[in-house]
Amino acid sequence: MSKSKQFFQYDSPNGKLWGFRKEYKQRQLRKKGFSTKSDAELKLREEMNDVDALERGEIRCKPTTAQEALNIYRRKLEVRSKDKGYQYGHNLRSNCKIVQEFVDRFGPNRLAREVTQTELREFYQVLCFRISKNSAGAHMGRVQGMLKAAQESKPDLVNWLRPKLSVRRKPENERRAVEPEEYQKLVDILLNPPPAPSRRAERNALWRDAGDVVQLLRLTGGRLNEVLRIKINQFLWDKEKVLLFASKTENERYVPLSKGVARIVHARLREGLSDDEFLFPRARVSTFDNAIARACRKAASLAKLRYGQKNGFTCHSFRHTFITHLLIQTKDIPGTMELSGHKTVESFSGYLHLLDTGYTNAAEILDQVDGFLTGLERSERQERDERTEDEAANPLTLKQVAVS
């Protein structure tokens, strides 16, 4: 086997170009289209090194650029969006535009491993001049998510010390638990809507779906997308469980099949509101999520409820309510986390809220504590007064004891 490099020059529409043709370790290495012989020699040396590395069991790959990292991240989100509603896909495209701005600013053809915390902080400062700090922090989380997705997919980034930027975010509108009176009013008006001026049957059908969805959200603690697209075979009657597929975390979990859940499912089956596959057949339409959200918003307005993001009360709030009430009743943190599908205490704690009744209970407990301390102070004062009275009644005895 000859180890000499075999280069050749040939004519092309662009002039004289160089190429090489060489057999190296039983492999044919061929390439042409180089403007200079030195470029051809460099490329040949790289291919020979790749052959040597493969013989040693090493994996050599092309370094990942920033644009390739974004493409990996976008592909990951697009696959996830297929299990979610239309709005998720719309938000995906909007958010990727901001991430694309970071890539364009950093340099699409620069290597992803060249990104440092300084570049992240600089882009965060740019965003803060345009949008709120909370929104800027959310977009920075997506930029770092892009880097993480690339590191998980590309072998050249396995040992990369990925830069991280901690941004303090304070949500403008905090979530809260839904009070029982609010839940009752919303369900009542959804199941018994007032007369509509037009398209009454269509509006009543949608509001009936929304009423059943709200009840299932409250009774299962599921996310809106999980409940809307729940299938008939997910209700395990023999085991008295409901199987929920979490599209957000790509996990599944079981929740109890309570009497309330069974009542809703049986009613829909009996009235022909379900088909052989879905409990809510309209879930096949990608915009069904938005239709349910609009129905809840209109019903809450008629019921004069504090509904909406600024009031912390939306369809997702029923998941917060389920988790909060379940923990209050059971006092079992691991069990509640298993039913809610949370893996870490940090994410789980964001769903715990102090109810209005909690203030009353807390006040009663504090009164008991105060009563205990007050009673202790009163007993000490009485004992001190009694000791003073005894000393005043027996002065001679004390003097005799002192003299002796």
Q: For 209, how many CA atoms within 13 A lie in the half-sphere containing its CB?
A: 27
Residue 387 has a pLDDT of 66
Tokens representing residue 131 in the block: 């949008």
* Sequence-distant contacts of 342-347: CB under 8 A, at least 24 apart: 343/249
Pick the CATH number of 66-157 from 1.10.1060, 1.10.150, 1.25.40, 1.10.1580: 1.10.150
What's CA 198's distance to the chain center, in Å?
39
**CA distance to 64, 162, 231, 250, per residue, from 338 (Å):** 38, 31, 21, 15
Residue 148 has a pLDDT of 94
pLDDT per residue as tens digits for the range 182-191:
999 999 999 9
> At residue 154, does pLDDT exceed 80?
yes
pTM for this prediction: 0.64
Domain ranges of the chain: 7-55, 66-157, 180-349, 356-403
Alpha helices in 63-132 (DSSP H): 66-81, 86-106, 117-130
Confidence of residue 161 (pLDDT cuts 50, 70, 90): very high
Q: Which CATH architecture describes the domain 180-349? A: Orthogonal Bundle (1.10)
Tokens representing residue 288 in the block: 């069904």
Q: Which of 80-84, 102-106, 150-154, 266-270 has the lowest mean pLDDT?
A: 80-84
The share of the chain scoring above pLDDT 90, in percent, equals: 41
pLDDT per residue as tens digits for the range 272-313:
999 999 999 998 888 898 899 999 999 999 999 988 888 888
Q: What is the chain's alpha carbon radius of gyration, rounded to the nearest angstrom? A: 34
How much is the average pLDDT of 143-152? 94
